[in-house]
A and B are shown apart, each in its own frame.
Chain A
Amino acid sequence: MTAAILEIHGLRVENLAGNVLVDNANITLMPGEVLGLIGESGAGKSTIGLAAMGYARGGCKITKGRVVIDGVTIQDLTAEGRAQFRGRRIAYVAQSAAASFNPAHCIMDQICEMPVHHGVRTRAEAEAWAVEMFRTLELPNPETFGARYPHQVSGGQLQRAMAIMAISARPDIVVFDEPTTALDVTTQIEVLVLIKSLIRDYKIAALYITHDLAVVAQIADRIMVLRHGKLVETDTTAHILHAPQQAYTKDLVEDRQSSDVFQERSLKSGREVILDASHITAHYGDFRVLNDVSITVAKGETVAIVGESGSGKTSLARVMVGLTPPTSGSITFLGQSLAGELKQRSREDLRKIQLIYQQPDVALNPRHTVGEIIGRPISLYFNRSKQAVRARTLELLAQVGLPADYIDRKSTALSGGQKQRICIARALAAEPSLIICDEPTSALDQLVADEILKLLQKLQDDLGLSYLVITHDLGIVRRIAHRTTVLLSGQVVASGPTGDIFKPPFHPYTEKLLQSVPELRESWLDEITAKRAGGPATG
């Protein structure tokens, strides 16, 4: 048995304030082996990934343990020494390629920088090699692709370029940090295939970090489950998926499976339409984002708008709330027509339609306390007395399942899930008839997201709310949506009761979407790629 290429012994990482981010992490990575690190945000998986490169994020320090790459303990090295390892022996693929490519330089420069700097290839060789890779990875016109700037290419292409960059200096180890999380499902699958083939073809050992069990299942030989910076359990992929030992792991697996099964939901009473948007067409500048889209939402109903980035689903939400006035089409809400312009809408209209954002932490003013955030709509719409507002706020906190003493905290001190609950409470405070949820859970961890969805459903049952849910995640749709509308580049491709949408005969695009959702089977990815004749080449 050959020696481990990467060893981490008793690693401990703390931030300057002294909180422990990772404690006593041990990893042994054999050459060509893929280890999946899985866990919720804050589990410390990225921290470990970076620590493997001898790097700690701003404000953090490696306080204990050893990181050994190919027999060399890199804490013992000087800064320069460590720099020589990075990229050359161990490379990194970041979650958001868009953010991790430097906007000021063209892609080719950034890909060639590393091999040239480490003296692995000359500039000319590097360029030739890069073009070759562009071709194999089927990037559009590979000869000129490198000359483009990051903002000029799509997220999927950028993510592939990032992968190329990572292996450009022929490293032994690559750290993949959520490489597909930011991508649409259909793109994600392509990138997954690519990564898998790279790892195989170049005999790379990899740390694959993700929060999605199904994704890691496709790639990893072994999986390490982390929580709160501590190891939960580590075992071969098969064992983790089929015979998890720890309770937490069990939850993860079960929950992931539950999202795969479809739960039929039907309205108790008949469909009483409260929102009717018909033949909506909308533009950004002179670019048409919505083309003759019609949807209806009934009382107590959840309607899902499904589509990938650029499908216009968010634009639809903006039209509904009045941020993007439609160029044609009409909206009727609770019997009367709704003005397209935000300014022309009455305060009552504003109150009755509320919006919940994808990113709870940017949707909450960091300088306000929870009480102020939730209390404001109450005092604004129902001008109540101070005590009344506070009472109602506490009531709402209870409703969204937060302890009463949060009322005086700053939202910044809370976790993502808690923040999203506050956003919901803020929406409820206005006592709306319709809540538009724009990707309400996509920024949250699996289990947390699950709870949020449960909460939304409970509220719907108690208050008879209607939801318009904008999402790319078919799992969510399956679970909560009465009706579903599938959007593709601003047009409706399928619409109707969710049950019908998910039953054959499929619209080809819907089918593609459905297939792309990772399933919790090791073999899933290979099957798909096999099924898709002429899909991305995997050799």
Chain B
Amino acid sequence: MALQNSLRNPPLSAKIGMAVLLFFIICAVFAPVIAPYGEAESVGKTWIGPSGEFWLGTDNIGRDMLSRIIYGARMTLGVAAACTLLSFLIGVTMGLLAAVAGKTVDQVLSRFIDLMLSIPILVFALMILSMLGSSLLTLIITIGVLDSFRVFRLARSIAVNIVVTEFVEVARLRGEGLWWIMRREVLPNALPPMIAEFGLRFCFNFLFVAGLSFLGLGIQPPFADWGGMVRENGRSIAFGIPAPLWPALAIALTTISVNMIVDWILSINARPSGASAEM
């Protein structure tokens, strides 16, 4: 009752968040229509300041910043979403398995993850790279796998608390299999807290994508992605050139709005905290 109620009218912050996200999604979809210039075309000199002609100025090889940001929404949101989904697919599955399948499996998985986490990312990425070659798919796999380790820890810690509840015991007593218990009994109850993590990870991956670009992983030119744009233009900020601020701003905006939405979703699922109402 209360739930439906808050679902129907989200708080202002969440509304803002959704608006921003929606805006960027629209940008992504209708980029060719909205963008004043092409994604790849070099229209002017390098790093021209904002002007009537180029609202956000030009980038490191004289392409219109605004257009790049609009087109960038496609790759950025798309790839980040793919990576995050993959990482959650792997991480949650393993996490639940560790929680449900008993002590040995748990130990094995947990130690394995520890191991993976203590390998420097560079080396890890290089390994995957040398095995799969550089492509958008590899990028997604690399980040997905790397990220799933962190997701695993969270998923597991949440799941262990659910596994001890009586309705899971009932399922065991009924003679249900592992898979069923994971999928039908634990997962639905583990999801809400995972959503919060999803929001954050989703945004981290913007940068992660850009971070791996020196390995040739990442978005292939001439396609734009915000993280990459910050990277390509980043240096100029040290000289007071505002170019990289714009893509950075786009990322920040998305991050914040996604988290606003997430916080709201959480507040629906969480029972009101005893203190929040008090004074």
Does chain A touch chain B in the assembled complex, meaning CB atoms less than 8 Å apart?
A: yes
Residues on A facing B (Cβ under 8 Å): 15-19, 55-61, 79, 82, 321-323, 342, 345, 347, 350-351, 354-355, 357, 359, 362-368, 376-377, 380, 413, 426, 430
How many angstroms between the C-alpha atoms of A367 and B277 in the bound complex? 26
The contact of A323 among B173, B176, B275, B278, by CB within 8 Å, is B173
Q: Contacts A321-B173, A367-B188, A380-B176; is A60 near B166 (CB within 8 Å)? A: no
List residues of chain A with CB within 8 A of the CB of B175: 345, 347, 350-351, 380
Name B168-210 residues within 8 Å CB distance of A: 169-170, 172-176, 184-185, 188-189
Contact between chains at B174 and A55 (CB < 8 Å) = no
Contact between chains at A363 and B170 (CB < 8 Å) = yes
Contact between chains at A350 and B174 (CB < 8 Å) = yes
The contact of A17 among B2, B165, B188, B279, by CB within 8 Å, is B2
Contact between chains at B169 and A323 (CB < 8 Å) = yes
B2-34 vs A, CB cutoff 8 Å, 1 = contact: the mask equals 100100000000000000000000000000000
Q: Contacts A323-B169, A367-B188; is A58 near B274 (CB within 8 Å)? A: yes
Contact between chains at A362 and B1 (CB < 8 Å) = no
Contact between chains at B2 and A342 (CB < 8 Å) = no
Count of chain B residues with Cβ under 8 Å from any Cβ of A?
26
In the complex, the chain B residue whose C-beta lies closest to that of A372 is B184
Q: Contacts A16-B2, A17-B1, A55-B278; is A366 near B173 (CB within 8 Å)? A: no
Q: Contacts A59-B272, A380-B175; is A365 near B188 (CB within 8 Å)? A: yes
Contact between chains at B172 and A342 (CB < 8 Å) = yes
How many angstroms between the C-alpha atoms of A323 and B169 in the bound complex? 9
Contact between chains at B172 and A376 (CB < 8 Å) = no
List residues of chain A with CB within 8 A of the CB of B277: 56-61
List residues of chain B with CB within 8 A of the CB of A322: 173
B171 smallest CB distance to A (angstroms): 8
How many angstroms between the C-alpha atoms of A58 and B278 in the bound complex? 7
Contact between chains at B174 and A59 (CB < 8 Å) = no
Ranked nearest first, the 9 interchain pairs of A and B with the lowest CB-CB distance are A367-B188, A58-B272, A59-B272, A17-B2, A79-B279, A365-B167, A58-B277, A350-B175, A363-B166
The verdict on B104 contacting chain A, using a C-beta distance below 8 Å, is no
In the complex, the chain B residue whose C-beta lies closest to that of A58 is B272
In the complex, the chain A residue whose C-beta lies closest to that of B169 is A323
The verdict on B276 contacting chain A, using a C-beta distance below 8 Å, is yes
The contact of A362 among B167, B188, B272, B278, by CB within 8 Å, is B167
The contact of A365 among B1, B172, B189, B276, by CB within 8 Å, is B189
A62 smallest CB distance to B (angstroms): 10
Contact between chains at A59 and B2 (CB < 8 Å) = yes
Contact between chains at B189 and A355 (CB < 8 Å) = no
Contact between chains at A355 and B173 (CB < 8 Å) = yes
Contact between chains at A58 and B273 (CB < 8 Å) = yes
Known: A18-B5, A58-B274. 18 other contacts (CB 8 A): A16-B2, A17-B1, A19-B1, A55-B278, A57-B277, A58-B275, A82-B279, A321-B173, A323-B173, A342-B172, A342-B173, A359-B166, A362-B167, A363-B170, A365-B184, A365-B185, A368-B188, A376-B174
